[in-house]
Amino acid sequence: MTMTATVPAVVEAASGADQDGALAGLRWAVTRDLRLAMRSRAELGVQLLFYVIVVALFPLSMTPERNLLATMGPGVLWVAALLASLLSLPRLFASDHADGTLEQIALSPYPLEALIAGKVLAHWLTTGLPVALLAPLLALQYYLDGESVAILVAGLLLGTPILSLLGAVGAALTLGLRGGGGSLLALLILPLYVPVLIFGAGAVDSVRAGLGATANLSLLGAGLALALVGTPFAAAAAVRIALD
């Protein structure tokens, strides 16, 4: 008896032209999660609105003075991106875990690492990417100049995938725990987000100081490469532990 008999979609995908395993699994997971995300577009919209509102709160908490806002802007936008990523993490595995789909996914013939990488990619496409694309509009509220905005977006494009990748590990570790989705996940993941925040916001700062952002952006790129290689394995291990 094959365990996969209970997952028609997976079997169907596996019996297709590409039997190659990892890539096919990745593609399957991306399409499935994107389709699911598109069916709950309101939820995605709410997450983006959260990002917009957090960014808009900071000027209200002080005198909205032009220089001050331009200095704080990159950091505020980055912190808001971190929080938006954090809030959307439970969506990665929680509902699949609740209805048993995650167990079936783990039993599928595809490598679990590839399936998780696909889920993370779909998560980034629906949260990190919109956040990066929305950033120029919000940066205008903080009086950032054109070059700073360009670097901010470049940093977000490099950094938000790291947030999704690291977040997947935390989301998998806290699956099905008491109070798992909320503050515990934040405690586990936010300290690990620190380097992304420092390099991302630092890139814009160094451009504003006339130093050029190459160093910071390169470090973000290196971090992305490292996270791409390592985190799918850690997340897969965490999912297996949660399903044990």
- Report the interface residues with another protein, using CB under 8 A: 166, 169, 173-174, 177-180, 184, 187-188, 190-192, 194-195, 198-199, 202, 219, 223, 226, 230-231, 234, 237-238, 241-242, 244
Q: Residue 126: name the closest of 89, 180, 167, 170 by CA.
A: 89
For another protein, the closer CB: 36 or 184: 184
CB of 207 to another protein, least distance (A): 15
For another protein, the closer CB: 70 or 192: 192
Asked whether the CA dihedral 45, 51, 53, 56 is positive or negative, the reply is negative
How far is it, in rounded angstroms, from Cα 110 to Cα 204? 41
Q: Which amino acid is at 19?
A: Q
CB of 181 to another protein, least distance (A): 11
Q: What is the DSSP letter of 154?
A: H
How far is it, in rounded angstroms, from Cα 69 to Cα 62? 9
State both tokens at 103.
């167990």
How far is it, in rounded angstroms, from Cα 121 to Cα 52? 23
Phi then psi dihedrals of residue 185, to 5 deg: -60, -40
For another protein, the closer CB: 34 or 192: 192
For another protein, the closer CB: 62 or 211: 211
CB of 55 to another protein, least distance (A): 22
Q: What angle (nearest 5°) sits at the alpha carbon of residue 173, between those of residues 171 and 177?
A: 90
How far is it, in rounded angstroms, from Cα 175 to Cα 42? 24
CB of 104 to another protein, least distance (A): 20
Q: What is the DSSP letter of 3?
A: G
How far is it, in rounded angstroms, from Cα 215 to Cα 174? 34
CB of 18 to another protein, least distance (A): 30
CB of 66 to another protein, least distance (A): 24
For another protein, the closer CB: 133 or 187: 187
For another protein, the closer CB: 150 or 237: 237
